[in-house]
Copies of this chain bind each other. A is one copy, B any other.
Amino acid sequence: MDFKQILESSYREILRRYIEESSEAALYQGQMFSRKSIKQQISPEEIISIHCKVLKDLYPDIREEILASFDFLIEFMMNYGLAYQEHQSLRDKQF
């Protein structure tokens, strides 16, 4: 299983737990996972895409407009992903 598959299944599990229990522990686990995701060069728009997929799985009756809104958010976030890639290549040149 590659990191993206691990990320997706872990994200699903931690988010489900957060929604059910509103637990700080799940938030903390999410933060730990986000550090790993950054190290593995997962872009912010990929995270949002996973988030949307998980919501669709957990709530199959989620309204279409909400799902459509995620397409917009993903497009909006792409420039943030590019800015972060630039950051990484800049850092790689420095060290």
Q: Interface on A for B, CB 8 Å cutoff? A: 14-15, 18-19, 22, 26-27, 30-31, 33-35, 38, 44, 47-48, 51, 55, 58-59, 62-63, 65-66, 68-69, 71-73, 75-80, 83-84, 86-87, 90-91, 94
Contacts and interface: CB of A to CB of B under 8 A. Distances in A.
A38 B79 contact: yes
Contact of A62 (B44, B66, B71, B91): B66
21 contacts: A15-B69, A19-B65, A19-B72, A27-B71, A30-B75, A30-B76, A31-B79, A33-B76, A38-B80, A47-B77, A47-B80, A48-B73, A51-B69, A55-B66, A59-B63, A59-B65, A59-B66, A66-B66, A84-B84, A84-B87, A87-B87
Given A34-B78, A38-B79, A59-B63, 18 more contacts: A18-B71, A19-B69, A19-B72, A22-B68, A27-B72, A31-B76, A31-B78, A31-B79, A34-B79, A47-B77, A51-B73, A55-B69, A58-B65, A59-B65, A80-B80, A86-B87, A87-B87, A90-B94
